[in-house]
Amino acid sequence: YVAKTYYEKDFEVWAVDRRSNCLEDLAGFQAAEKASTADEAMNVMLDYYYEQQPIDGKTFEGFLKPKDIPFVAHFGLALATEDMFTIMEHMIPDRAVRKKKIFVGGHSLGGTHTSVFSAWDKDGNPETIEDAGFNNIAGVFALDAFVTPISEVTESAIDSMSIPASLSNSFAKFGYQSLVAGFESGFLPPVLPVLLDGEVSALPEALGILAQKAPDAESVVLQHMPQSQNLKLMLQLYHSRRLSDFLKGVSILDYRYTNEALLGLIFDDNSSPISFLQASIGFAHGGKVGSKSFPIPYQVSSIPILGDLVSSISSADPKFIPTDQGFKFFGRKFPGPLYSWAGYDEVASPEYPLFQSKTGRTTLTETKGEMVDISDFTRALYIGESNLTEWYFPLRLFVDIMAVDYPYAPEFGINILHAGAIKDLPKIEFIAESGPFASQLSSTVSTEGVRILEGMNHLDPMFAVVNAPEQYKNQVIEPLIDWVLDNLQ
């Protein structure tokens, strides 16, 4: 689709996998990807990751714990940004050409890193600007993120709380040093130790492989998988309608799902409680559903200040999950229905835009909020030698980003020496209407060049369909390419 003849241009897209992704052992998934059936793929994955069965002489050494990878404490902004420079300089050695033809952008944290890159000075000398990020690129873009100078947001927050700049800088420096020292000493884990740990983050790839090979077959992988306490906790969080369900230890294993429906339940914006993992991929089909108010009731979004904070973690839209797990009669269990998945183009249409309950009292979803083909999304979870989810995300990145606008940052190798330069670069920002960044569209963030993506959630800008204009007109790809061509030198 991108290569439509009327563009008459060739495009290259370079995606950078952070170094921490090299810690992922994907041998089992890559072997499963080559399997001829879903059952074979499931057995390959379970044998490799849980039964110590080798693949090509390689045996899985287990999901890594924070104590196993202390060096990730050094995987901060400096390393990530230097890697970006290295790739650009290798691919296009001539800086003058880079300045004309390279556009840097990213999704979510990638947008923030784009802002950082534009302000970075490679040699730490602000007088020599040939090695400055902004002087090596033609423009910047963001997919559900901002590429506005971070200083504007930081200064506004400090002013609103009436904190003297000297006190703020002093305290921030002490806090930054303490966190970094904690990472480097091992006192603090360099990666997430619970919830989205390595095992939980690896699960979507397994579900993606099975959903692609046998989307309509009943999922049994969770029943065969030894589940850690952390994995059980996450599955309970996903499948608890209310706090009482969670405390009772409600189990997702009590419900029947197809491979595709199980994957949809975890990522769809109508059921997933985590805003930064939401995509608009359809709705559960085949049985009763009920409203979900756990872990955060959607009504909280209307509360001033607290609502904005909550929306960055859990979206404000109502959630629904299946409720029919069958019943027991005289000690015999009668299983519930097999829930399948209705795709983005099956739950509603331009002619009938609302997908409602039988009574018409409750709107479950609507056409403007559905735009991702689940088969496209599924493929992106696992295809090839990489994947979508990160097993071991380096927390040092977040800590470094918190420090970028403070004057002490260069003392620690965070060479943000051209903070305002991004204002002079061509830019375009796409903000998802229902994503975690929508609440930040205020006077503290420049809205010049911002495009609001109607109905989209956080992952949608990357995955919205481009080949079904009669059902959904993509809001990102053509405007982005047109912008690139307008600013190509």
Token pair recorded at residue 135 = 């002087």
- Average pLDDT on 208-218 reads 98
Single-letter residue type at 474: N
**How far is the CA of 388 from the CAs of 21, 114, 271, 297, 484, in angstroms?**
10, 19, 20, 28, 25
Residue pLDDT, tens place only, 35-81: 999 999 999 999 999 999 999 999 999 999 999 999 999 999 999 99
- Average pLDDT on 467-488 reads 92
Residue 449 confidence (pLDDT) above 80: no
Report the alpha-carbon distance of residue 224 to residue 209 in Å, rounded: 16
Q: Burial, 469: exposed, middle or buried (Cβ in 10 Å; 0-12, 13-18, 19+)?
A: exposed
Would you state the pLDDT for residue 155?
52
Q: ∠ CA(179), CA(183), CA(184), 5° rounding?
A: 115
Residue 13 confidence (pLDDT) above 70: yes
Residue 167 pLDDT level (bands cut at 50, 70, 90): low
Q: Which residue has the higher pLDDT, 163 or 342?
A: 342
Report the alpha-carbon distance of residue 467 to residue 489 in Å, rounded: 29
Residue 153 confidence (pLDDT) above 90: no
Pick from 440, 455, 464: nearest CA to 373: 464
Residue 304 pLDDT level (bands cut at 50, 70, 90): very low
Report the alpha-carbon distance of residue 55 to residue 48 in Å, rounded: 7
Residue pLDDT, tens place only, 367-385: 999 999 999 999 999 998 8
Indicate the range of 10-14, 93-97, 298-302, 395-399 predicted with least confidence.
Answer: 298-302
In total, the chain counts a number of residues equal to 489
Residue 305 pLDDT level (bands cut at 50, 70, 90): very low
Residue 7 pLDDT level (bands cut at 50, 70, 90): low
- Average pLDDT on 339-346 reads 96
- Longest Cα–Cα distance of the chain, Å, equals 82
Would you state the pLDDT for residue 438?
82
Question: Which 8-state DSSP code applies to residue 54?
Answer: -
Residue 273 confidence (pLDDT) above 70: yes
- Average pLDDT on 24-34 reads 97
pLDDT averaged over every residue in the chain = 88
Report the alpha-carbon distance of residue 191 to residue 195 in Å, rounded: 11
Q: Rounded to 5 degrees, what are φ and ψ at 335?
A: -65, 155
- Average pLDDT on 189-208 reads 92
Would you state the pLDDT for residue 447?
64
Pick from 367, 360, 380: nearest CA to 472: 367
Residue 30 pLDDT level (bands cut at 50, 70, 90): very high
Q: Which residues contact 353 (CB under 8 A, 6 or more apart)?
A: 366, 367, 368
Residue 298 confidence (pLDDT) above 80: no
User: Any idea which residue has 């997430």 for tokens?
Assistant: 192
User: Any idea which residue has 């040699």 for tokens?
Assistant: 123
Pick from 205, 201, 185: nearest CA to 193: 201
Would you state the pLDDT for residue 290?
94
Q: Rounded to 5 degrees, what are φ and ψ at 185?
A: -85, -15
Report the alpha-carbon distance of residue 468 to residue 312 in Å, rounded: 30
Go through 407-435 and write b for each residue having 16 or more CB atoms within 10 A of its CB, e for each that does not: eebeebebbbbbbebbeebbbbbbbbbbb
Q: Burial, 462: exposed, middle or buried (Cβ in 10 Å; 0-12, 13-18, 19+)?
A: middle
